[in-house]
A and B are shown apart, each in its own frame.
Chain A
Amino acid sequence: MTQLVSPSEVAFLLQGVAHNLRSDGRSRTQLRPVVVETGLVSQANGSSRLRRGNTDVLVGVKLSVGVPDLAAPNTGRVEVAVECAPSASPLFEGRGAREVNAGLAAAAASYLAAPGALDLEALCIRPDTHCWVVHVDAVVLDSGGNVLDAVCAAARAALANTTLPRVSTVPSETPGEFDLEVSDDPDDVIALDVSRLPVSVTLARLGDFYVADPTLEEEACQTAAFTVGVTADGTLSGATLSGDGGIPPAMLIEMFQVARKLGMALVADMNDLGEQEAKLDRDVVGFLG
């Protein structure tokens, strides 16, 4: 998902970064503003759309009933899939796209499905036999850089918007098997608790400096990128280094501190946006408008 960039462009970008002035006017540790809407997809149990700069992600959450893992019979699970829509960029096509999608899905899952992020025991319907499987599907409609952070933030908003139907099991006619009973009342639902779900903050190393929330051009010049998951109370919930270069340990420790501050602010902002949206009494008109 890199775009071509000339050596002069790289030099221009790096010099700007050294002066704490990026091409879009941001400082090195400034994130792009986020626009998020939830509840757009009526057929999904939860959904959200998030725009950040030119990056546009739509997430739908669908629930299914599955069998718990043998190793964890009292829990449900979360499965994450990401698809970069081929319409979004000529780079998102064919074999390369499959690897990009798998990489993004694995990275997003390491934050969303991490131990302690969601209460997986609340997803258990009946130990050993029935559990909820939460399918988080992200579609990247447009890529303006830093797709991973947009996917994680959008998924967090969609999960906050997700409700589980109240379900109980009753013994069926065949002995040893169970049927599911769903409540008839569409408002008899349980909301997912996302208070410990992290957002991710990506910092890209450009020369001797690092910038938060890189754009496509900045990603093309980066030596390495460091993504950190941060929860509302500042706990660091997962981190990965990507890219073909390295980062000195001293810079890494600094990046942790910066990411933590930015992450906590982002979570607070997104919670605020969620509350504001809940107060709006609006008709959802137009999907991509």
Chain B
Amino acid sequence: MGTLGRAIYTVGKWIRGSGQALDRVGSLLQGSHRFEEHLSRHRTLMNVFDKSPLVDKDVFVAPSASVLGDVQIGKGSSIWYGCVLRGDVNNISVGSGTNIQDNSLVHVAKTNLGGKVSPTTIGDNVTVGHSAVIHGCTVEDDAFVGMGATLLDGVVVEKHAMVAAGSIVKENTRIPSGEVWGGNPAKFMRKLTDEEIAYISKSAENYINLAHIHAAENSKSFDEIEVERALRKKYARKDEDYDSMLGIVRETPAELILPDNVLPEKTTTRVPTTHY
């Protein structure tokens, strides 16, 4: 059996080799229009000469994000997919428990109309929504920047303030504490209620938990991914709700169970109880 296994292995290797040779023939036929794939050269954390990012060990930085230059990120924060934090000209400091959601941009320019260049400071427990653009601003603790908002140079968002989605906040605007500003150009809209202020802190906390899951998933090695893929295929069954209605109890393997704190308010019954 050992020699048979080795023989099959060798035949497999020949077939792969001939497949690669065929691939080379095909590339030759395609000539100058052919596409050759290379390793990804995307660098998640990159130094710009002597400025290097300082990222806490607890932080989730998505692999497709770019943290470049002089950036400091405190513990528990998360930088989601596709973000760009460019600390090349000046310093960017992101506090702890902050989340900078997908496709956002945090930057500071070398020249702006006033001639002043200030570092960008984002405080603790701030939620920066998807696709926001933060350019040379100060965002204080527990603030909420809505998705798609554009904060231009010198803007100060005070504690517990909210910038509505899609707003464009003009240069050097100061958004006072406890207020919602929105629109283009951003104007005062209304005051925040207490429960909304509590919601902001809760959302930051939810994101910290969510970030742990994404961090764990993104840092898996090739073998772990393959093992889980096999497990998922094997345990791909019907919905948990369907099963619970029939009174069936199915086991999900430990690797495929998400931690409970990600989905808030969900009654956690990993092993569904029988219903009649």
**Chain B associates with chain A:** no
B interface, CB within 8 angstroms of A: none
A interface, CB within 8 angstroms of B: none
